[in-house]
Amino acid sequence: MKMAKQCIVAGILLFFCAVVCFSADESIKLYPSGNGKWSIPFGKRSYDYTNIRVARVVDGDTLKLENGERVRLIGIDTPELHESQKLYRDSQRSGQDAGTIQALGKRAYAFTKSLVEDKFVALEFDVERHDKYGRLLAYVYLKDGTFVNAEIVKQGYANLMTIPPNVRYADLFKQLYKEAREQNRGLWK
């Protein structure tokens, strides 16, 4: 009986130690293990970035994956949706009021959401894998082959944001951006 109590106490302590090991913005999640059971991952886990679900769209150029990681789409920049210092910098730089920028941000968000939310995608990385905020930097592809970053630019919902050394598709994005502006697509209407 004493041994059983010790095992229970040890199990509880182990559980709480594991919880403390997670950072403040991570949460414990259950994942299907493939055999009808569920598992709680502890420590670093590697994910299959060639087949992962987009849990939600944060804004026009940022996604949240089913594993909790955020992805910043490389090479593009959509208008700000949320209150932030960047919103006010963009307002000052462009001469547009913050409300106008946010309205454009809502349109870009809606387009990206309709394109990828709750769908399985594949990520392609460039030279740098993370930005200074810890987000994954990636080119994203739908299962049908649609290049998400390029489609957002092509349909007129993003500006270009080329930050070396992640420049693999900069020329493609530049051409798509030019065409979207000339043909008054998306935000350029």
Rounded CA gap, 87 and 14, in Å?
44
Average pLDDT over residues 37-50: 66
Rounded CA gap, 63 and 60, in Å?
8
- Listing DSSP states for 97-134 in one string gives -HHHHHHHHHHHHHHHHHHHTT-EEEEE--S-SB-TTS
Q: 176 pairs with which residues across the strands? A: none
Residues 177, 116, single domain; the answer is yes
Give the residue among 64, 53, 21, 65 at the shortest CA–CA distance from 40. 21
Give the residue among 189, 163, 145, 182 at the shortest CA–CA distance from 61. 163
Q: For the chain, what percent of residues have pLDDT higher than 90?
A: 74
| Residue 56 known to be catalytic | no
Q: Total structural domains in the chain?
A: 2
| Residue 117 known to be catalytic | no
Residues 56, 112, single domain; the answer is yes
Residues 35, 56, single domain; the answer is no
pLDDT of 141-167, one tens digit each? Answer: 999 999 999 999 999 999 999 999 999
Residues 125, 35, single domain; the answer is no
Q: 76 pairs with which residues across the strands? A: 160
Of 5-14, 56-65, 103-112, 172-181, give the lowest mean pLDDT range. Answer: 5-14
Residue of 69, 80, 107, 151 marked active site = 80
Residues 145, 176, single domain; the answer is yes
Q: Is omega for the bond preceding 41 within 30 degrees of 0, making it cis?
A: no
Domain that holds residue 132: 47-188
* Two tokens, residue 54: 């987009």
* Two tokens, residue 115: 């394109």
The overall average pLDDT reported for the chain is 85
Residues 17, 71, single domain; the answer is no
The distance between the two most distant Cα atoms of the chain, rounded to a whole number of Å, is: 79
- Would you tell me how many other CB atoms lie within 10 Å of the CB of residue 62? 18
Rounded CA gap, 12 and 140, in Å?
40
Taking CA atoms, 104 is separated from 87, 169, 184, in Å, by 12, 24, 14
Query: What is the reported pTM?
Result: 0.76
Residue of 45, 66, 69, 72 marked active site = 72
Residues 40, 59, single domain; the answer is no
| Residue 26 known to be catalytic | no
Residue of 69, 70, 117, 135 marked active site = 135
Query: Is pLDDT above 90 for 7?
Result: no
Residues 52, 9, single domain; the answer is no
Residues 79, 144, single domain; the answer is yes
Residues 23, 66, single domain; the answer is no
